[in-house]
Amino acid sequence: MPNPSFESYTACPFGSFQIDKVNSWSNAGGSPDYFNSCALSGGASVPNNFYGYQNAANGNAYVGLYTYNKGVPFPSNREHIQAVLNTPLTIGVKYFVSFDVSFTLDNIEIGFAADKLGVLFTNVANYNSGNQPNLNNNSQVYIDTVILDTSNWYHVEGSFIADSSYQRLLVGNFFDDSNTDTLGIDTALYTAYYYIDNVCVSSDSNDCLVVTGIKDSKPKTELKLYPNPTKSNSIWLELNSQFQNKDVRYRIFNEIGQMVTENSFYSNSSTEQINFNHLPKGIYYLKITNGLEQASHKFIIN
């Protein structure tokens, strides 16, 4: 995958609609945006820009596009970006695909959240701002849940077996309005908009690990949970020195990346009990932060 996190550029962005500044990527419909910390004006910087506030998932840059727009007739109410793969896919080979996504709100345009943001592989070479892809309610990997959290990046992953020697990759929503679930946050506004970072394509599962939802992070010092799996309504968290004698915030996410609970505590010991009486059986991720350091770990409720 060329330039997967949009770090390489020809010039710093100075306003909106500047995906053309990103090496190896181009416009495949609409007017997608490029954000980079090198931008000194024009609202296109990282982390603070005209659509919201978000640090890059990796490096100093990311792109943004709308996946739904109630104020524009379908199918023109989508934005897409595209890139040519380093090598064409091989027919019959299983490929692993992932990308990081974050929702944002700006109180000016963005009033909706939506699902179906995904990755489409194709051999069509003439997509541009005036000729966007056909929205045939299909892409090889996509999000089938509405992501609402504006604070976090979600690691979306999937896999497929190549049925063609695809040479191009597109990112966006390839489903029509009737097949796109939306949630109106401020229905006086009209757009669903998401930041994108870290697009990965590989035949090696170690490069793009396939687990639905957010990625289990590997902190510098290990985070321990026990018992794991658990059959009770709580789990014990063993805190390393970075989180002791500090205010600690924790959030629990389900396997599709939705935050299901959050709370905070002051860590005056090396262990802390986390209660979750209302959670059903399943796979979850516990994420903790003390404002500077953060760590996460997967756990299972049986």
For position 27, what pLDDT does the model report?
95
> pLDDT digits over 67-118, tens only?
999 988 887 889 999 999 999 999 999 999 999 999 998 888 999 999 999 9
**Residue 20 gets which letter from DSSP?**
G
**CATH code given to domain 224-301:** 2.60.40.1930
Mean pLDDT by 10 residues, the chain (302 residues): 92 93 94 94 90 90 96 87 96 95 91 95 90 87 89 89 96 94 91 95 74 40 78 89 87 72 89 90 81 73 89
**What digits encode the pLDDT tens for the residues 231-268?**
888 999 998 888 888 889 898 877 655 678 889 999 88
C-alpha span between 132 and 119 (Å, rounded) = 14
Segments making up each domain of the chain, as ranges: 19-202, 224-301
**Burial bucket for residue 285 (CB in 10 Å: 0-12, 13-18, 19+):** buried
SS3 state at 52: strand
Q: Kindly state the helix (H) or strand (E) to which residue 265 belongs, with its residue range.
A: strand 259-266
CATH number of 19-202: 2.60.120
